[in-house]
Chain A
Amino acid sequence: MAEVVIKGGRVIDSSGDRIADVALSLGRIDEVGPDLDTTGAEVLDASGCVVSPGFVDLHTHLREPGREEAETIETGTRAAVLGGYTAVVAMPNTEPTIDSAEVVAWITEQDALCHVACAAAITVGRRGEALAPMAELVEAGVRIFTDDGSGVQDDRLMRRAMEYATGLSGGAILAQHCEIESLAAGGHMHEGEWSSRLGIPGIPAAAEDLMVQRDLALAQLTGATVHFQHLSTATAVDLVRQAKAAGMAVTAEATTHHFTLTHAEVASYDPVFKVNPPLRTDADVAAVRAGLADGTIDAIATDHAPHTADAKEAAFDQAPPGMLGLETALALAITELVDGEGMALSEVLALLSWRPAAIAGLAPWHGGLVAVGESANLTVFDPLLHWTVDPAAGASRSRNTPYAGRTLTGKVRHTLVDGEAVVIDGQAQR
């Protein structure tokens, strides 16, 4: 007998699209088909909704340990499940840094509403000086290595990290925040028309492009598997496109804000629009969208980066970069990519679920098929519901969403993590 039956939804996974009920028990899918028996089961209404494998975020800043005033594992994963995520990859820029098995174990033991996979730092303390114990970290379950927030600047050290990773079991991936610091240093927004007008020091697109080029060259040299985080420039998207065409083992992500917002937003001088990499031009936004549409970019990531109201009420050039993303990602993808660009819903779900799941090494536990015997990590959402973003209504401990007051389309209704309904009718259950 099923514990939960998801009733009347349209099931979309990587195998296709059909109307079916989904019955679950013991964290697994028992049955998929029409008019399933609901006797004794909790029924989750999915009429008018899509039932999809749960979303996987390759880029979440949970802030704990170290910056619990901005977010905790609990509040961050609550925001995640409300956004339809069943797994998130936690970035290592915590205090202490995720650069040892001990920190990975500590994070993994905390109470969370969804699965938390740790990305670990490439270098000790993310200082860019010495390699972190990568084998120990892989042993502890880490797959993605990144010094996120600051790319590894030293060419030789990055080469060594890539070389070393090729000898690790389980397919370690080197993920890079691409930014040449000597070009970007002192900049606070995209360098261009708006930075010139507003008198805010700029970060040139070349700072990103150059590091993408370097890492592609190093990946060719070493044979490492590399992943490019939050691509934001047209040139970077093109470089990744060419690398894929040449058969390299390369993947890339783009954030919701880099396909939605441009540097013109900064005209308000509101640091809620400060993010790194910065919001760029219309042409860059178009290139990111094109990259998502043609498969150059594999995943939509949030780069969910909570900051306290105090931190974001500083002068623009003194405020920390970063914006929230978990609770708005699905709606932005539907609003901007499905409604805006004419992409198919299934293509967008691939970007939110099964492709990032594969990159993170979480497939088929996450992002698998909605089929008998598969894990019950599922998201049920209404693809047509209009709603207005209210920062105060979010589950994140922080409020720094750049979409306040925007009306978006698409909202999560239920989220199931290992068969447990952690979100029912848009409400977190714990």
Chain B
Amino acid sequence: MRHLLSIADLGTDGIEEVLALTDSFVEVSERAIPKVPALRGKTVVSLFYEDSTRTRLSFETAAKRLGADTMTFSVGTSSVKKGESVRDTVQTIEAMGVDALVVRHGSAGVPVQVARWGTSAVINAGDGWHEHPTQALLDCYTIRERLGSLEGRHIAIVGDVKHSRVARSNVAAFTALGAEVTLVAPPTLLPSTVEGWPVTVSHDFDDVVGSLDVVYLLRMQHERMSEALVPTLREYTAGYGLTVERASRMADHAIVMHPGPMNRGVEIAPEVADAPNAVILDQVANGVPVRMAVLFLLLGSGSEMFAPTERPAEPVLAEEEVVRG
């Protein structure tokens, strides 16, 4: 695999590989000095056309823990403001010598285009309504941590699926690992068709809530009101919010997930967000080792990835550095 643009790039085996590797990086993260030199000498650039401090920090932390050098290219302070095209920006950054580009863009498909235009490995960190594959991977890891496996589990993705890259990646990832996925949303917040999607659809949250192993809530954005997609937030919450009452009808083992940032009181009641079965902070915590695994799979080589940083550099790494010149 050269790039991670969508969950389909990984397939079931690829997802399993990332999750297995994540276990090892979780162990690294628990060390006193949570770093390994696996990507020493590699340069990872975050190319963020959309503000997302949490995703960017998670990737940069992951890269640093692998010993890579990191750089950030964010729109507000860059030549993009002066009208530079994405292609020119990519080629300019690559001319500096870059191994991976972590790309976030408000338009679907930009990471696919960047992969076509450039020479470095591209990781999609969220593109428009399209995909956010590392979010899906960390979600899978979190579910496994809590429930052991996704096989046969019933997961509802609730809310604004239409505009959600997280939903598109998660449908692909959850079903690849054997889960049964139900999309729960008013018709206006679903894609115009889910033909070909391996999901069922429900407009009745109450009908499915008791049968779920995972309730995955999506962020409800206020601007959807102005687009006449739902009449009022109040009506949305009444029908599709995870209220205290609805949460009380979830199975005892079932967990609540959210990709953040949450709108407390809209898609999720504050009490539910803070309950012990809400794993929202676990999702964030798992983001770093999952992204370490992805970066390592794309950029790593050799068998020394788990060596503590304190040890002298291995010959393999030294050679790599020479080759890189």
Instruction: Report which A residues bind B (CB closer than 8 A).
Output: 191-193, 195-202, 204, 268-270, 310, 313-318
* Given A313-B87, A317-B128, A196 and B194 contact (CB-CB distance below 8 Å): yes
Q: Which of B38-46, B109-117, B202-210, B264-272 participates in binding chain A?
A: B109-117
In the complex, whether B223 has a CB less than 8 A from a CB of chain A is no
B131 to chain A, nearest CB (A): 7
Interchain CB contact (< 8 A) of A196 among B86, B107, B117, B193: B193
Interchain CB contact (< 8 A) of B192 among A202, A313, A315, A316: A202
Q: Within 8 Å CB of B108, what residues of A?
A: 198-200, 269, 315-317
Interchain CB contact (< 8 A) of B86 among A200, A201, A270, A315: A315
In the complex, whether B191 has a CB less than 8 A from a CB of chain A is yes
Q: B87 and A197: CB pair below 8 A?
A: no
**Binding site of B, secondary structure by majority: helix, strand, loop or mixed?**
loop
In the complex, whether B224 has a CB less than 8 A from a CB of chain A is no
The 8 closest A-B pairs by CB, nearest first: A269-B109, A196-B191, A199-B129, A199-B130, A315-B107, A199-B108, A269-B112, A317-B107
Q: A199 and B127: CB pair below 8 A?
A: yes
A270 and B116 CA atoms in complex are apart in Å by 10
Q: A314 and B193: CB pair below 8 A?
A: no
* Given A198-B130, A200-B108, A314 and B192 contact (CB-CB distance below 8 Å): no
Within 75-132 of B, Cβ neighbours of A (below 8 Å) are at 85-87, 105, 107-110, 112-113, 117, 127-131
Interchain CB contact (< 8 A) of A315 among B110, B129, B196: B110
A-B contact pairs, 22 of them (CB 8 A): A192-B192, A195-B192, A196-B193, A196-B197, A198-B108, A198-B130, A199-B108, A200-B108, A200-B130, A204-B192, A269-B109, A269-B110, A269-B112, A270-B113, A313-B113, A313-B117, A315-B105, A315-B107, A315-B108, A315-B110, A316-B108, A317-B108
Q: Within 8 Å CB of A196, what residues of B?
A: 191-195, 197
When each residue 168-204 of chain B gets 1 if its CB lies under 8 Å from chain A and 0 otherwise, what string results?
A: 1000000000000000000000011111110000000
Given A199-B108, A199-B131, A316-B108, 5 more pairs with CB closer than 8 A: A193-B195, A269-B108, A313-B86, A315-B86, A315-B110
Q: Within 8 Å CB of B127, what residues of A?
A: 199
A191 and B196 CA atoms in complex are apart in Å by 15
When each residue 222-252 of chain B gets 1 if its CB lies under 8 Å from chain A and 0 otherwise, what string results?
A: 0000000000000000000000000000000
A230 and B193 CA atoms in complex are apart in Å by 25
Q: Within 8 Å CB of B193, what residues of A?
A: 192-193, 196
B166 to chain A, nearest CB (A): 11
CB nearest neighbor in A for B196: A193
**Of residues A193, A201, A315, which shows the largest number of chain B Cβ atoms within 10 Å of its Cβ?**
A315
In the complex, whether B165 has a CB less than 8 A from a CB of chain A is yes
A317 and B109 CA atoms in complex are apart in Å by 9
CB nearest neighbor in B for A201: B129
Q: B107 and A318: CB pair below 8 A?
A: yes
A198 and B110 CA atoms in complex are apart in Å by 11
A318 and B165 CA atoms in complex are apart in Å by 18
Q: Within 8 Å CB of A316, what residues of B?
A: 107-109, 113
Q: B192 and A200: CB pair below 8 A?
A: no
CB nearest neighbor in A for B85: A313
B7 to chain A, nearest CB (A): 12
A229 and B86 CA atoms in complex are apart in Å by 34
A126 to chain B, nearest CB (A): 26
A34 to chain B, nearest CB (A): 55
A313 and B107 CA atoms in complex are apart in Å by 13
A196 and B161 CA atoms in complex are apart in Å by 10
CB nearest neighbor in A for B161: A196
**Of residues A204, A269, A318, which shows the largest number of chain B Cβ atoms within 10 Å of its Cβ?**
A269
B304 to chain A, nearest CB (A): 37
A252 to chain B, nearest CB (A): 26
A136 to chain B, nearest CB (A): 39
Q: A199 and B86: CB pair below 8 A?
A: no
A314 to chain B, nearest CB (A): 7
Q: Within 8 Å CB of B196, what residues of A?
A: 193, 197
Interchain CB contact (< 8 A) of A269 among B85, B113, B192, B197: B113
**Of residues A193, A196, A317, which shows the largest number of chain B Cβ atoms within 10 Å of its Cβ?**
A196
Q: Within 8 Å CB of A269, what residues of B?
A: 108-110, 112-113
Q: B130 and A315: CB pair below 8 A?
A: no
Q: Within 8 Å CB of B194, what residues of A?
A: 196
Q: A200 and B129: CB pair below 8 A?
A: yes
Q: Within 8 Å CB of A313, what residues of B?
A: 85-87, 113, 117
Interchain CB contact (< 8 A) of A198 among B85, B109, B113: B109
A40 and B83 CA atoms in complex are apart in Å by 60
Q: Within 8 Å CB of B129, what residues of A?
A: 199-201
B197 to chain A, nearest CB (A): 8
A419 to chain B, nearest CB (A): 46
B265 to chain A, nearest CB (A): 28
A7 to chain B, nearest CB (A): 48
Q: B85 and A200: CB pair below 8 A?
A: no
CB nearest neighbor in A for B105: A315
CB nearest neighbor in A for B191: A196
A46 and B149 CA atoms in complex are apart in Å by 72
Q: Within 8 Å CB of B86, what residues of A?
A: 313-315
CB nearest neighbor in B for A311: B85
A304 and B169 CA atoms in complex are apart in Å by 37
A281 to chain B, nearest CB (A): 11
Interchain CB contact (< 8 A) of A310 among B85, B109, B131, B168: B85
Q: Within 8 Å CB of A193, what residues of B?
A: 193, 195-196
A198 and B172 CA atoms in complex are apart in Å by 13
Q: B128 and A200: CB pair below 8 A?
A: yes
A151 to chain B, nearest CB (A): 22
Q: Within 8 Å CB of B112, what residues of A?
A: 268-269
Q: Within 8 Å CB of A199, what residues of B?
A: 108, 127-131, 165, 168
A204 to chain B, nearest CB (A): 7
Q: Within 8 Å CB of A270, what residues of B?
A: 113
A51 and B195 CA atoms in complex are apart in Å by 48
CB nearest neighbor in A for B194: A196
B196 to chain A, nearest CB (A): 6
* Given A199-B165, A200-B129, A314-B86, A191 and B109 contact (CB-CB distance below 8 Å): no
Q: B191 and A200: CB pair below 8 A?
A: no
A317 and B193 CA atoms in complex are apart in Å by 20
A268 and B105 CA atoms in complex are apart in Å by 17
A142 to chain B, nearest CB (A): 37
Q: Within 8 Å CB of A198, what residues of B?
A: 108-109, 130
A192 and B113 CA atoms in complex are apart in Å by 22
A317 and B86 CA atoms in complex are apart in Å by 13
A320 to chain B, nearest CB (A): 14
A277 to chain B, nearest CB (A): 16
**Of residues B86, B105, B193, B197, which shows the largest number of chain A Cβ atoms within 10 Å of its Cβ?**
B193
